[in-house]
Amino acid sequence: MSNVLAFDLGASSGRALLGRLTDGKIEVEELHRFPNDPVQVGDRLHWDILRLYHEIKQGLLKAKHQGIELQSMAIDSWAVDFGFIGKNGELVGNPYHYRDRHTEGAMDSLFAQIPPSVIFARTGIQFLPFNTIYQLFALKQANSPWLQEGNRFLMIPDLLRYFLTGEMHNEFTNATTTQLYNPVEGKWDAELLRMLDLPASWFGNVLKPGAKAGSLSHSVCEELGIPSIPVYAVAEHDTGSAVAAVPATESSFAYLSCGTWSLMGTEVDKPVLHDLARKLNFTNEGGVADTYRLLKNIMGLWILQECRREWEREGKSYSFPELVQLASEAKPLQSFIDPDDASFLPPGDMPSRIAEYCGRTGQKAPETTGEIARCILESLALKYRYVFEMTERLSAQRFQGLHMVGGGIQNTLLCQWTANAIGKPVWAGPSEGSAIGNLVVQWIAQGAFANIGEARKAIRDSFPVAVYEPSESEAWSGAYERFLNVTGFAE
Active site residues: 238
Buried b (16+ CB within 10 A) or exposed e, 315-331: eeebeeeebbebbbebe
Q: ∠33-36-42 over CA atoms, to 5°?
A: 160
The widest CA-to-CA distance across the chain, in whole angstroms, is 64
The enclosing H or E element of 266 equals strand 262-268
Residue 283 CA to residue 271 CA, distance in Å, equals: 9
**φ, ψ at 77 (rounded to 5°):** -155, -175
Are 442 and 293 contacting, i.e. CB atoms less than 8 angstroms apart?
no
Mark out the alpha helices in 225-279 (DSSP H runs): 238-244, 275-279
**φ, ψ at 249 (rounded to 5°):** -90, -25
CB atoms within 10 A of CB 360: 10
Q: What is the DSSP string of 8-30?
A: EE-SSEEEEEEEEEETTEEEEEE
Beta strand residue intervals within 325-445, DSSP E: 402-405, 426-428
Residue 436 CA to residue 40 CA, distance in Å, equals: 32
Q: ∠94-243-159 over CA atoms, to 5°?
A: 20
Sequence-ordered list of residues with C-beta below 8 angstroms from that of 236, at least 6 positions apart, any chain: 74, 75, 76, 77, 155, 157, 158, 171, 173, 174, 209
Are 175 and 285 contacting, i.e. CB atoms less than 8 angstroms apart?
no
**φ, ψ at 74 (rounded to 5°):** -160, 165
Nearest to 263 by CA among 288, 242, 292: 242
Strand ordering across the sheet containing 230-232: 25-35, 13-22, 2-9, 72-76, 230-232, 212-215
Type of residue numbered 344 = F
Nearest to 303 by CA among 335, 264, 339, 336: 339
- Based on the number of CB atoms within 10 Å of its own CB, is 46 exposed (0-12), middle (13-18) or buried (19 or more)? middle
The enclosing H or E element of 374 equals helix 369-395
Residue 263 CA to residue 156 CA, distance in Å, equals: 19
